[in-house]
Chain A
């Protein structure tokens, strides 16, 4: 794989003649990482693929708005994060965990069980069910910290939230998930 020099790529992206080739390098560098970030939030593979495509299309269309104030990777993760949240808001069938009903829970179980691209034991499936019932932003924070193993500083840049608020959000998410799994793991 060709080496990736972010400063050089940013300079090439600013040049209309080199833009397309430079963007190809960006896609090669970040497509998988963005796929997994989106997948952990959106869950379903086909939906993830759609959101990923939209993320890159948006990035391409808004290249001129990238001023280099943050890292290119952070900018891309932020677009992916916003696209994922928008997708969930438009398609969510469930209420957040605080007031979910038994019917929501059954729908959620069916949703997880019907996903053919899901591996893992019963506890992991329960974990996913619990994650999917979290409020959208809390779900995103939890998955970025837990699965993607990002630092709070990085998540703060992506989500535009303070580190203190992120720590509190993660803590509440863990509490809810633990409670859910204990209640369902017979």
Chain B
């Protein structure tokens, strides 16, 4: 037996048993269009908002990167070892003075006592 005949035999009417609220279809198209357009404007807003956020993030990222660079360079600068006597570069004349000082073995206390006329 045909499938549809099976249902008809049970006394089932083919018409839809559903109804809709009064005047539901009167403004349905307007509601759909306003929903569609508001979704679009929300999307546009979120796209603009996203761009702004990304713009702000990249601005702050650049500032942070610049600060980090300054900090790294300064740290490098201040942590560099001060030149020692050994590594210092002297002119020939300066070097001879340094040599005299080194080999005279005079301490600042000796110079002080000498100047005050103290006896050794």
Q: Which residues in A have some Cβ–Cβ distance to B below 8 Å?
A: 20, 23-24, 27-28, 31-32, 35-36, 39-40, 43, 45, 52-53, 56-57, 60-61, 117-120, 123-125, 127-128, 146-147, 149, 170-171, 174-175, 177-178, 181-182, 185
Contacts and interface: CB of A to CB of B under 8 A. Distances in A.
Given A45-B21, A178-B7, A182-B10, A36 B16 contact: yes
B60 to A, nearest CB: 32
B32 A127 contact: no
Contacts of A43: 18
Contacts of B11: 123
B20 interface: yes
B29 A31 contact: yes
> 7 closest A-B pairs (Cβ-Cβ)?
A120-B17, A174-B3, A124-B17, A60-B36, A117-B19, A56-B32, A27-B29
B101 interface: no
Interface string B10-33: 111110111111001100110111
Give the secondary structure class of A's interface: helix
Contacts of B37: 20
Contact of B19 (A35, A118, A147): A118
Interface size band for B:
20 to 34
Contact of A45 (B20, B33, B39): B20
B21 A117 contact: yes
A27 B12 contact: no
Contacts of B46: none
Nearest to B18: A39
